[in-house]
Structure 1
Amino acid sequence: MRILVAFASRNGSTGEIAGRVAGRLRGAGRNVDVAEMGDGPEVSGYDAVVLGSAVHNQAWLPEASDFVSRHVSALSGLPLWLFSVGMPDGLPRLLRAKAKELQEKRILGLLGADVLEPRGHRLFSGVYLEGQLKGAAHFSFRLIGGRFGDFRDWAAIESWADGISQELAARSGTLPSQDQAGGSGREDV
């Protein structure tokens, strides 16, 4: 079984998450390729696809949206999982749920819910450094109580990847390796 893990990243955090997901899938004996969406990887020839993008202004990066549009036909026939990398954990607690809700709506809009039916979508927090925001945006983020830092939850990321591996194993009748932890793979934001 060949799996494509494709990502769009601005500052590297999403690429590192994609690499960790791919590593977990490889650890379960899967044949995995990792590629940046902007490099134009082809979807044909793969048995499953995992797509991830950084979130800027509550939307996937343009190269991720373009990738989905170019490959919608091929993606519609494959097991597909999505992840987004934003900053919900850098926001004040009162704003986190609303930010997650808005992101889910954006993803459904990106995919046109009638066209693609992903098996799961997860919103992960990434790395958000002070230098990434300038001027009024930096001031506004601080004013609402936003925090900068590395908010990636590697255990949650690995668990999600393990869930994908387990679902693929169930579909193909193969067992994942013994070092894979539990996870449903169908966790939605």
Structure 2
Amino acid sequence: MPPRTLSRRDFLKITGLTLGTGVAACGGLTALATYSPAVTLPASTFGDQTMSKKILVAYASKCGSTGEVATAIGKTLAQNGARVDVMPLNKVTDLPGYQVVFIGSAIRVAKWLPEAANFVSENRTILQRIPTAYFTVCMTLAEDTPANRTKAAGFMDPVRKVLAPAAEAYFAGQVDPARLSFFDNTMLKAKGTPVGDFRNWDKIGDWAQSTYAQTCA
């Protein structure tokens, strides 16, 4: 039997189907790479409304870990007799209403997240009149060495130049693959970033306690 000749119409059908399948596959891969799981950023108030000392713990968080550190700090501060509001920085509306402010951020590309750095710059005049403490949460301190502590301290240099804090601290963070996009997980694997929760809650609580004594005395 002579070979069947492929008509122009059949050729267009086949190539169209193949091209469509390829485009759909590429679209699916793009969606997978850019998809980010929904992350809940905590906002809470601790302490009695009648307490005279009012403290703000505001933060910028990429995947929620820094928000959880901020919550732990807020709980400790409230145990000392203060009313404490914990919230993402983009929810802060009444900065002059606080006697002490804590500002924290996760690290991205060796810097505070833009919303945290911008908050300090935009509110510098107000923050100069309020005792302000900084805290950084980063995976650099998953291995707590003198070299890594120096490196972590350097992440805050641009913000410190805008406004020197009354106190500052650096804490190890958490990497939970379920909270990250496919792209972020791929990048972290390529860099060899460890996976797990490296936060030291005792260290976080102790710093909150000592900073309360320093700023609220």
Aligned partners of 2:129, 2:76: CA distance in 1, in Å? 24
Alpha-carbon deviation of 1:101?
2.0
Per-residue Cα deviation, 1:120-158 (whole angstroms, up to 9, x for no partner): 1111011113464343x234322xxx4210000000000
Could you tell me which amino acid in structure 2 is paired with residue 87 of structure 1? M
User: Which of 159, 165, 171 lines up with 1:110 in the alignment?
Assistant: 159
Aligned residues between the structures: 161
Residue from 119, 123, 137 that aligns with 2:166: 119
Distance 2:167 2:87 in 1: 20
Residue 99 (structure 2) pairs with residue 47 (structure 1)? yes
- Give the 5 Å matches for 1:21-170: 21-91=73-143, 96-112=145-161, 115-130=162-177, 132=180, 133-135=184-186, 137-142=187-192, 146-169=193-216
SS of residue paired to 1:44: helix
Contact 1:65 1:110 in 2 (8 A): yes
Decide which structure has the larger Cα Rg and report it: 2
2: distance between equivalents of 1:61 and 1:42?
A: 21
Q: Percent identity?
A: 30
1:106 CA displacement:
3.1
Q: Distance in 2 between matches of 1:166 and 1:138?
A: 38
Provide the C-alpha distance between the structure 2 equivalents of 1:44 and 1:147, rounded to a whole number of angstroms. 40
Contact 1:21/1:161 (CA < 8 Å) preserved in 2? yes
The aligned amino acid for 2:130 is L
CA contact (8 A) 1:40 1:67 kept: no
Q: Quick one: distance in 2 between partners of 1:11 and 1:155?
A: 22
Give yes or no for contact 2:173–2:197 (8 Å, CA) kept in 1.
yes
Measured after TM superposition, the shift of residue 70 of structure 1 is: 1.2
Quote the RMSD (CA, aligned, Å).
Answer: 1.9
Normalised TM-score (structure 2)? 0.68
Q: Show structure 2 runs of 5+ residues with no match.
A: 1-52
Segment of structure 1 superposing worse, 13-22 or 39-48: 39-48
| Higher share of residues assigned helix | 2
Pick which of 58-67 and 124-133 moved more: 124-133
Q: Residues of 2 paired with 1:130 and 1:111: CA distance?
A: 31
The letter for the 1-side match of 2:126 is A
Unmatched segments (≥5 aa) in structure 1: 172-189
- Alpha-carbon distance in 2 for matches of 1:159, 1:42: 28
